Amino acid sequence: MKSVEKRGLMDNRPVAVVTGASRGIGRAIALDLAGAGFDIAGIDLALKTTPERAGLDGLAVELADLGAAFLPIEADISLLEGHGKIVTDIEEAFGRIDTLVNNAGIAPLERRDVLETTPESFDEVLSVNLRGTFFLTQAIAGRMIETAEAGDGFSSIIFITSISAEVSSVNRVEYCVSKAGLSMVSTVFADRLAEHGIRVYEVRPGIIETDMTALVKEKYDRLIDGGAVPLGRWGQPDDIARVVTSLACADLGYSTGTVIDASGGMNIRSL
Ligand code: NAD
């Protein structure tokens, strides 16, 4: 396990903000970062546990067991008017932000052929995955610059995009477009924030076993059996979490604007 404290990076505990922290990849990221010594601000749509959703309240218990302080924030990142309060709440709770993990994302409610994509679905997916994530990053980056310039830590922003930033799926163009756009957002923030020492990375997961892929599990089982993933298995949320923790702990400290593939080799073009 990575550890900021063992690596002597920080005097105080660093703080990571994780969007979409209730479940799936975001939850695994929050727990792995906490294990490495981060305190966590976790953002998601709802605090409460329901049968379908483990919720931020459940995460609070697990984070406490790891000795991490936790600020649960109930917010929809697509609502830009809420971003100011998110930053203020984190500021009041922790006084610093070292890492932002832009993980929250949605798939189209219904997969439809590109010839039948509706404007409503297009707008909805882009409002969360691209617009909401972009403006939340803009809102948080200002605070991160202050932390970075205090000079006692390592600052990073990590965008969870997808292989869909490059790989076409004809029945969910809005998702592919949102992730391709977010990939450029990552590049531009890397360019702009380098002078402040803030590293920016893009992580591209492949096929990961979460609620998001549960509806298409059989299709992906068949694809994996047929060899679509060179490493031959589903990815797990922890596979992505370990990459994120490595980045947040400065393992790639002389890199920024870098894309890290975490897809079991689906990035390989093969003849
Ligand atoms: P998930 O659906 O299991 O979890 C997503 C979380 O984000 C949920 O807790 C949800 O409530 C939250 N969220 C959604 N919209 C939000 C909003 N507007 N504001 C705040 N929180 C919101 O999905 P996952 O599989 O864990 O995916 C996490 C990220 O990884 C997403 O960006 C997704 O696009 C990306 N990704 C997933 C896969 C995969 O195969 N599962 C592959 C590539 C990329």
pLDDT at 6: 43
* Residue position matching structure tokens 């709770």: 93
pLDDT band (50, 70, 90) for residue 8: very low
Residues recognised as catalytic: 175
- Domain extent for 60: 15-261
- pLDDT for residue 54: 65
Residue 8 placed within a domain? no
The pLDDT, as a whole number, for residue 47 is 79
Sheet arrangement for strand 156-160: 70-74, 39-44, 15-19, 99-102, 156-160, 199-205, 258-262
For residue 193, the CA-to-ligand 1 centroid distance in Å is 25
The answer for residues whose C-beta is within 8 angstroms of residue 182's C-beta and 6 or more apart is 102, 129, 130, 133, 134, 159, 161, 165, 202
CA angle 132, 234, 212 (to 5 degrees): 35
Instruction: Using the predicted structure, report yes or no on whether residue 244 has a pLDDT greater than 80.
Output: yes
pLDDT in tens, 139-177: 999 999 999 998 889 999 999 999 999 999 999 999 999
Q: Ligand 1 centroid to 20 CA: how many Å?
A: 6
SS3 for 164-185, per residue? Answer: HHCCCCCCCHHHHHHHHHHHHH
pLDDT in tens, 76-92: 999 999 999 999 999 99
Which residue's CA is minimally distant from atom 2 of ligand 1? 212
- Which residue's CA is the closest to the ligand 1 atom numbered 6? 20
In a domain, 5, yes or no: no
* Residue 9: inside a domain: no
Q: Is the CB of 26 under 6 A from ligand 1?
A: yes
Model's pTM, two decimal places?
Answer: 0.96
- Give, for ligand 1, the residue of 212, 219, 223, 260 to mutate: max count of ligand atoms closer than 8 Å to Cβ: 212
Number of domains in the chain: 1
If one residue of 44, 49, 234 were mutated to test the ligand 1 pocket, choosing by the most ligand atoms within 8 A of its CB, it would be: 44
**pLDDT tens per residue across span 193-222:** 999 999 999 999 999 999 999 999 999 999
SS3 content of the chain, % helix, strand, coil (to 5): 45, 15, 40
Q: Cβ distance 96 to 147 under 8 Å? A: yes
Would 269 be classed as within a structural domain? no
Report whether pLDDT(10) > 60.
no
Residue 63's domain is classified under what CATH number?
Answer: 3.40.50.720
Say yes or no to pLDDT of 46 above 60.
yes
% residues pLDDT > 70 (the chain): 94
Residue 39 in contact with ligand 1 by CB distance below 6 A: no
Compute the distance between CA of residue 44 and CA of residue 95 in angstroms, rounded to an integer: 21
Instruction: Indicate whether 7 belongs to any domain.
Output: no
**Residue 57 vs residue 228, higher pLDDT:** 228
Give residue-wise pLDDT tens across range 97-152: 999 999 999 999 999 999 999 999 999 999 999 999 999 999 999 999 999 998 88
Distance 149 CA to ligand 1 centre (A): 31
CB-count burial class (<10 Å; 0-12, 13-18, 19+) for 218: exposed
Q: Where are the beta strands (DSSP E) in the chain?
A: 15-19, 39-44, 70-74, 99-102, 156-160, 199-205, 258-262
Q: How far is the CA of 250 from the centre of ligand 1 (A)?
A: 25
